[in-house]
Amino acid sequence: MLHSLMIRLMLNSVVIILSFGIIQLIKELFKNHLTWKAQYRIWYYLLLVLIFPFLPSSMIHAGLRLLSLSGGSVSPVKVMTPTIANDAGISSFIQDFSISVSRSRIFQLPAFLPYVWGLGIGIMSILNLFSDIKIRRIRQASLPLQNRRIRELFDCCLREMNIKKKISLYSSAYLSSPMAVGLVKPIIILPIHMLSEFTEEEIRFILLHELTHIKHRDLFLNRFLALMQTLYWYHPVVWIGLREMRKDQEVSCDLSVLSMLEENSYLDYGKTLIRFAETIVRRLSFASQIAGSEKEIRRRIRCIASYRKESRWKQLKSRFLLSVTSLVLLAFIPVMSVNASSGSFYSFYPEHMKQLDLGSCFYGYEGSFVLYGVNSHQYYIYNQKAGITRISPDSTYKIYSALCALEQGVITPGSSYIKWDGSVFPFEAWNQDQNLNTAMSRSVNWYFNALDKESGISALKNCIGRLEYGNQDLSGGIGSYWLESSLKISPVEQVKLLTRLCQGTLPFQPDHIKAVKDSLFISASQGVSLYGKTGTGNINGQDVNGWFIGFAQSRDETYVFSTNIQSDQSANGRTAAAITLDILENQNIYRQ
């Protein structure tokens, strides 16, 4: 799970850079057509990019579910939490053999990387905590403002801005710049020297500025920005982007204040900023202060000097440009930030689908379960996002390797015997002659590699194309393409292909389909026959991908299923089969 998050964060780093570039480009190209408020709000799209890797799958793929609703019914089904009772005895009738492959995958991450990320988060959290403690101490050392005239002025500002929420006014000898703090009970703290050095009009400007921050909920936003900087401490573009957002936040706040003032007061407001530029203090992360860096103050002064009340036409143009920007960014954010983490997705919009609540059944494994009732035409899916994600089929592909070999005449239903060449394998069951039934049940790699070599890559590509099998990518080469390599298929596609196998509608000869189907037979119980094939992806000695696909056939109904589990270790076909059998038993589909 943490490994998957690391991958999403790495991929999202590219999206962040592209999003930042698009936002800056739009701001530069259309700066004369965007209101200042729009130039600030456009940064919200960057925040959306930042939170994408942390969103749950259900939220990320909400759009897919909405599309599904337009075609049929989608409803959640609660399933009882099972104990993997079948795990202990499953090896008696399901064998799962796999050989480790060495892969330096593009997204193979160093084991220490999550710890480095966590260390950075820890350091940033400590720094933020110190900042928070500093603000808390200033707040505790502050006293309620006693100056009656300033309190009356403050009450007047509250009425002018139509703020009903209770906001307190304090003064402190430890500040040189006013600030607003507090999420639940906000307060404004004024430096005590201001009361004697600034005019009432200047203090009014300051109060309006800080109240605007509170009204716009900038205190909440600043806390969120600090969280994003903590999570993305390693990404310079995030720091730059959030810094620019804070600058635009101050400008937007300034111009919101100007919109409440008479035109002849604009210059006086700018002069108030200049006075604070002479007493710059270091900004505290979670607070909102009127002072900033000298360069930032100059920029704000220029904006104030050029401020004109924005026309209705400019506001409409801003809304249009923001809408276009959202479409541009949202078009590729999900693709690069989520989909890219797993390769590609299968488009799937069934008319009848029920979502299963099986999270507890997977015992910490990431994965999915897809079930289809052939006669009822009803899909039952746990974790739709994973269900449509294409991943390596591993040994489950051997079903179709056998079909291709039968079609090419490499073997026949009555003569599928291949002699063992004497090569020693780590499993005794492999070190002997094989036929289709024994090779399928024992998942004998050398047998199916021999079939593929005899069929030839050209015939295999043609066969895979006719089947429309996953991404149809055999570039990994014979003997490797199906084993944590180029060929990928989703659990949903596995179910759709097996359904066609059960119905005899695959583009192959009926006796060939029957021979493969018979080779998948596992056991029969209470009038239900169970067929299936396991698959395990073992990379560098670790079981990272486990499959169990098949179908349970009775007189009344055939249920086709596909279970996939993934983890950094211990995710294999045997475990996937145990999980599947428990689910089937809970659903009263198959009992041993």
CB 75 within 8 A of CB 422: no
Q: How far is the C-alpha of 133 from the C-alpha of 143, rounded, in Å?
A: 17
CB 553 within 8 A of CB 517: no
Give which of 557, 558, 555 is closest to 527, Cα–Cα: 555
What are the Cα distances from residue 96, in Å, to 304, 401, 537? 72, 18, 11
CB 382 within 8 A of CB 57: no
- CA 442-443-446 angle, to 5 degrees, is 110
What are the Cα distances from residue 456, in Å, to 10, 416, 451? 38, 17, 9
What are the Cα distances from residue 39, in Å, to 28, 31, 210, 248, 382? 10, 8, 20, 7, 42
Is 395 part of the annotated catalytic residue set?
yes
Q: How far is the C-alpha of 225 from the C-alpha of 221, rounded, in Å?
A: 6
**Beta carbons within 10 angstroms of residue 60's beta carbon:** 16
Q: How far is the C-alpha of 467 from the C-alpha of 508, rounded, in Å?
A: 9
The answer for residues whose C-beta is within 8 angstroms of residue 145's C-beta and 6 or more apart is 151, 154, 169, 170, 171, 190
Q: How far is the C-alpha of 169 from the C-alpha of 141, rounded, in Å?
A: 13
Q: Which two tokens stand for residue 70?
A: 């337009």
Which stretches of 142-199 are DSSP H helices? Answer: 148-160, 194-197
Q: Which helix (H) or strand (E) holds 104?
A: none
HSE-up of 335 (CA within 13 Å, CB side)?
Answer: 5
Catalytic, out of 98, 341, 395, 443:
395
Sheet containing 73-78: order of strands:
73-78, 352-357, 378-382, 366-373, 558-566, 542-553, 528-539, 521-525
Catalytic residues: 395
